[in-house]
């Protein structure tokens, strides 16, 4: 008897976040999300107003933001660091789900 394959239980939002991460890797690169204006120095705010800021906006849900960063790093050919993988495990994703996202983003 052959054991049944375990299908990852990722939500539609997880897949969309993975798609956004893969798209970010292809278009603007895997940069850190934009900082809010109140966290910037006066010079940083001035430079943002002068030259613009095309850094990606972070996703509202921390789980989805972590999925986006994982997919972006995977698509860019980098191995995600242990802290990101630990964060994804804390947010409820298991190794099979991470492997599915990695296959999608590759």
pLDDT digits (tens, 9 = 90+) for 87-103: 999 999 999 999 999 99
Within-domain flag for 2: no
What b-and-e string marks burial along 62-92, b requiring 16 or more CB atoms within 10 Å of the CB?
Answer: ebbbbbbbbbbbbbeeeebeeebbebbeeee
Mean pLDDT on 66-70 = 95
Within-domain flag for 6: no
What average pLDDT does the chain have?
87
Within-domain flag for 81: yes
Please answer whether residues 70 and 17 qualify as being in contact, where contact means their C-beta atoms are separated by less than 8 angstroms.
no
Mean pLDDT on 23-42 = 82
Band of residue 42 on the pLDDT scale cut at 50, 70, 90: confident
Q: Residue 75: what pLDDT?
A: 94
What separation in angstroms does the CA of 97 have from each of 27, 66, 79?
Answer: 25, 13, 16
Mean pLDDT on 12-40 = 87
Within-domain flag for 7: no
| 3-class secondary structure, 59 | coil
């Amino acid at each position: 008897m052959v054991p049944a394959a375990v299908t990852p239980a990722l939500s539609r939002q997880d897949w969309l976040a993975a798609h956004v991460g893969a798209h970010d890797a292809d278009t603007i690169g895997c940069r850190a999300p934009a900082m809010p204006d109140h966290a910037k120095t006066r010079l940083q705010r001035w430079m943002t107003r002068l030259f613009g800021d095309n850094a990606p906006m972070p996703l509202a849900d921390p789980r989805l933001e972590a999925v986006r960063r994982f997919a972006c790093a995977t698509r860019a050919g980098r191995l995600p660091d242990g802290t990101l993988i630990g964060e994804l495990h804390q947010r409820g994703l298991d190794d099979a789900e991470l492997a599915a996202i990695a296959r999608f983003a590759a």
